Structure 1
Amino acid sequence: MRRFERIYDVVEPVEEYRRGGYYPVCLHDVFNNRYEVIGKLAFGQFSTVWLASDLKLHRIVALKILKSNASKDNKELEIYRRLSDLTVDHPGKNHVLQLLDHFMHDGPNGTHLCLVFPVMLFDGNSMTVTGIRHGVEYVETISKQLLLGLDFLHGQGIIHCDLQPANIMFSVVSAPTDDFLQPPKFSPVRWLEGVEVDDSVPRYLMATQRLRGSLDDADYSKLLVKIGDLGGGNMLRQKFFY
């Protein structure tokens, strides 16, 4: 049964704010007494991803908050922890997203796994949306980093079975984060008449603040590519070789 008026902006489905679903995030919420939400990066079928200020180490990070029903016995956390424990010297290790921190957070929709990563400002979808053609050097730079990351994963017996543009992350070395983000856009959440109001949903939803096409003219030598989303339900399989 629907509980809310439809929202036609590009945001996560508002009806997924329910028991087992998304955590209701608002700007300036603080998680784990450490991470203050300062912007919106993305959403997916199983999570929302936020720009956050690490109040302890004074840095900007990406905070991925999984749906409650995707948080228990999560394979993504298992794989990232496995990779974090490795001391392997491989050039591709820097091209796979690294887990900085993780914790559980209770909310009105259940208990949510929260994963903290370095900030990657774009994904492949936002890179390709304008249809701009890039030179050979640009493509070679991206391809080399992507292949190194895959080789590292395969060497650890991990196969990424959902390698698509949305899971290939991009950033620009030494570039200020604010240069690539637009102001927040809020979509108010409105309850349908006769539905009992509770705290399962935030006051508003937010579209991504990523500026599409911002890397069209970027210096390809400063692009940093990392493979992300090593979980997402059944989108990833593990295969270990001994």
Structure 2
Amino acid sequence: MTSPPATPPTELPPDPQSWRFKDSGAPCEWAKEYRPGGFHPVNLGDTFRDGKYKVIRKLGDGLFSTVWLVVNTGTPRYVVLKIMVAKAPTTNTELRILNYLSKVAPRDIRAQHVTVLLDTFHHQGINGKHQCLVFEPMGATAASLVEELPENKPKMYGKRQRYLKRMAKNTLLHALRGLAFLYQNGVVHGDVQSGNLLFSIEDISSVGEDNLKQDEASIAIPLHRVDGKADRWAPKILYLKQPLYDRMQRGPELCVKLSDLGLGELPTKSLPKNVKILYSNRMPVAFWLTDPPRDTVTPISLRAPELILHQPFGCGIDMWSFGCLMFEFLTGRTLFAVGMLGNDQKEQDDADDDHLFQFNDVIRPLPDSIMAAWPRASKCYKTNRQRLQPYSNDEPYIHQSLEVLLAEHRPTEIDNGESAVLWSLMQQILEYDPAKRPSAVDLLKHPWFSE
């Protein structure tokens, strides 16, 4: 008689030879993460909260959760169930923020641009107790939708994938309204990025379950243990995510919402293993303006100067990220290219230095206050602000200015006059001193957004 498999360790095995499962190579959560403290195994048809929610489709996955479309026995008929890993660093602060916003949302029209929590509960599973969050169904993220737009197909090497100006402008406008709602209620998002901007979908309450359920034939992958034994801690099948792209609203009804006020998420399978380790201890994101955390999970290329220099921060970090996204949505390229492959201090220092170099070249010369707070400034610049190259003997690379980059990469829909307006606006948002950055309410009054 074959002995049952031993309980998997709570930590991931150090090498592939110790893995329980054959690597499928599929772009979904890692099978190895199904272990005590990790993901909860979900199969289509599973129910939660005493039968209230029935799983019919997988919408996504990240480092800390899997996300499912479920049938609700109440109203609305369909909702989204986000199941956190059992050892997710979820805090009471996150839940207090989500619950508070859900209560004040009905009184503020700007709340329609923030995903609001509908329900929360705990589920006890084989891998531990999991925090479960329930939200309204939404479509693609701004990061993923851009690849699906007709104007960006077929994909060609060197072709920039970007939104048409109308869609980019509406997306940015809705993000500002969502941020204004958060700030009105004393909340900072902390992770404003294209992956946390969701597009709304049409009303699916009258759509039959058969028209929304998972397409199992094409996007289901059987999971097999290396030793051939049955596994209690993982599902029998891994499902590829199947977002509600075909249900999205793209006309005048288009509505974009800020999401992920709980844990910042990264896709799992698409990350190199060393990058995955780098983000293994990502902290909670949203916070009260009166009680900021010591650190955030803002993506490295969207960090404001105060984050790089470990200075006090508040809602200004959201506005800085927003300024970077303006350039990205309108041009199809990131404003700052900052990479970090390792997790040691030297890698972090090199990335920080490179980021500050780019600020100096792209936006405007760094002020004395930043130079004084930058620990390695003397290794990077002479006293007369002449650039040094501490990492090689090559001539220092000077990045193009924001004005030049915008003029070179703007879409044809934006003429010289509008390009000058946008350059001036981004210069105001990308202000080194967070106290001088415009607020979300200020920007909503700007002619480019209000016209």
- 2:123 touches 2:131 (CA, 8 Å); kept in 1? yes
Task: Give the partner amino acid of 1:135.
Answer: L
- 1:161 touches 1:237 (CA, 8 Å); kept in 2? yes
Greater displacement, 95-104 / 65-74? 65-74
1:72 Cα offset (Å): 5.4
TM-score, length basis structure 1 = 0.87
Q: Larger relative contact order (C-alpha < 8 A, sep ≥ 6)?
A: 1
- 2:202 touches 2:247 (CA, 8 Å); kept in 1? no
1:205 Cα offset (Å): 0.7
Could you tell me which residue of structure 2 aligns to residue 229 of structure 1? 260
Residues 75/47 of structure 1: CA separation in 2 closer, same or farther (3 Å cut): farther
Secondary structure of the residue that 2:74 maps to in structure 1?
coil
Q: Which runs of structure 2 are paired with 1:35-50 in the superposition (5 Å)?
A: 35-50=53-68
Select 1:68's aligned residue among 68, 82, 86.
86
Could you tell me which residue of structure 1 aligns to residue 29 of structure 2? 12
Q: Which runs of structure 2 are paired with 1:60-99 in the superposition (5 Å)?
A: 60-70=78-88, 73-86=91-104, 89-99=107-117
Could you tell me which residue of structure 2 aligns to residue 190 of structure 1? 224
- 1:126 touches 1:212 (CA, 8 Å); kept in 2? no
Tell me, yes or no, if structure 1 residue 162 matches structure 2 residue 194: no
Whole-Å separation in 1 of the counterparts to 2:23 and 2:261: 31
Task: Give the partner amino acid of 2:241.
Answer: T
1:237 Cα offset (Å): 4.3
Residues 52/71 of structure 1: CA separation in 2 closer, same or farther (3 Å cut): farther
Residues 65/202 of structure 1: CA separation in 2 closer, same or farther (3 Å cut): same
Q: Which runs of structure 2 are paired with 1:125-204 in the superposition (5 Å)?
A: 125-130=143-148, 131=152, 133-174=162-203, 183-184=215-216, 185-193=219-227, 197-204=230-237
Residues 87/235 of structure 1: CA separation in 2 closer, same or farther (3 Å cut): closer
Whole-Å separation in 1 of the counterparts to 2:23 and 2:92: 31
Tell me, yes or no, if structure 1 residue 119 matches structure 2 residue 142: no
1:210 Cα offset (Å): 2.2
Greater displacement, 86-95 / 7-16? 86-95
Tell me the alpha carbon deviations over residues 69-103 of structure 1, each in whole angstroms, 9 at most, x when there is no partner: 01653543232112123267333211111111111
Task: Give the partner amino acid of 1:227.
Answer: L
Could you tell me which residue of structure 2 aligns to residue 3 of structure 1? 20
Greater displacement, 218-227 / 177-186? 177-186
Secondary structure of the residue that 1:221 maps to in structure 2?
coil
Secondary structure of the residue that 2:104 maps to in structure 1?
coil
1:164 Cα offset (Å): 1.5
Secondary structure of the residue that 2:36 maps to in structure 1?
coil
Whole-Å separation in 2 of the counterparts to 1:55 and 1:46: 27
Tell me, yes or no, if structure 1 residue 205 matches structure 2 residue 205: no
Whole-Å separation in 2 of the counterparts to 1:91 and 1:14: 42
Task: Give the partner amino acid of 1:120.
Answer: M
Greater displacement, 172-181 / 224-233? 172-181
Could you tell me which residue of structure 2 aligns to residue 34 of structure 1? 52
Which segments of 5 or more consecutive residues in structure 2 lack a partner in the other structure? Answer: 1-12, 14-18, 153-160, 264-281, 292-451
Residues 161/58 of structure 1: CA separation in 2 closer, same or farther (3 Å cut): closer
Secondary structure of the residue that 1:125 maps to in structure 2?
helix
Greater displacement, 32-41 / 174-183? 174-183
Provide the aligned length of Structure 1 versus Structure 2. Answer: 239
1:231 Cα offset (Å): 1.5
Which segments of 5 or more consecutive residues in structure 1 lack a partner in the other structure? Answer: none
Whole-Å separation in 2 of the counterparts to 1:125 and 1:55: 32
Residues 23/4 of structure 1: CA separation in 2 closer, same or farther (3 Å cut): same
Tell me the alpha carbon deviations over residues 135-166 of structure 1, each in whole angstroms, 9 at most, x when there is no partner: 33222222211110011112222111211222
Residues 34/225 of structure 1: CA separation in 2 closer, same or farther (3 Å cut): same
Whole-Å separation in 2 of the counterparts to 1:88 and 1:78: 17
TM-score, length basis structure 2 = 0.49
Whole-Å separation in 2 of the counterparts to 1:125 and 1:180: 23
1:183 Cα offset (Å): 2.1
1:240 Cα offset (Å): 2.9
Could you tell me which residue of structure 2 aligns to residue 24 of structure 1? 41
- 1:121 touches 1:180 (CA, 8 Å); kept in 2? no
- 1:141 touches 1:221 (CA, 8 Å); kept in 2? no
Whole-Å separation in 2 of the counterparts to 1:141 and 1:98: 20
Whole-Å separation in 2 of the counterparts to 1:160 and 1:87: 16
1:31 Cα offset (Å): 0.4
Whole-Å separation in 2 of the counterparts to 1:228 and 1:134: 20
